[in-house]
Amino acid sequence: MEQSQNDFIVVKAKEQGVQVIGLTRGQDTRFHHMEKLDKNEVLVAQFTDHTSAVKIRGKAIVMTKHGVVHTDTDE
């Protein structure tokens, strides 16, 4: 799949044990990877042929080219 080099996300954990879960691309949507972040740990990741969506559990800041989202607020 053609993808921009800039197409990555940044996840910063605001608490201990934030989970970043990779969901498979294609008809079948299942978890294929789980990354656990310590408080203030930062993950920089890209979507790939295997990963089309990411689910984040816990308090975190998610930064993409679309903007910044805090998982623990209503905005």
Interatomic CA distance for residues 58 and 72, integer angstroms: 8
Cα–Cα distance for residue pair 15/19, rounded to 1 Å: 10
Q: Does 53 bind ligand TRP (CB under 6 A)?
A: yes
1 binds ligand TRP (CB under 6 A): no
Distances (CA, A) of 14 to 51, 64, 67: 24, 17, 17
d(CA 47, CA 38): 22
Is 52 a binding residue for ligand TRP by CB under 6 A? The answer is yes
Stretch that binds ligand TRP, among 4-12, 24-32, 39-47, 61-69 (CB under 6 A): 24-32
Stretch that binds ligand TRP, among 8-16, 18-26, 35-43, 57-65 (CB under 6 A): 18-26
Counting contacts by CB under 6 A, is residue 26 touching ligand TRP?
yes
- Confirm or reject binding of residue 25 to ligand TRP (CB under 6 A): yes
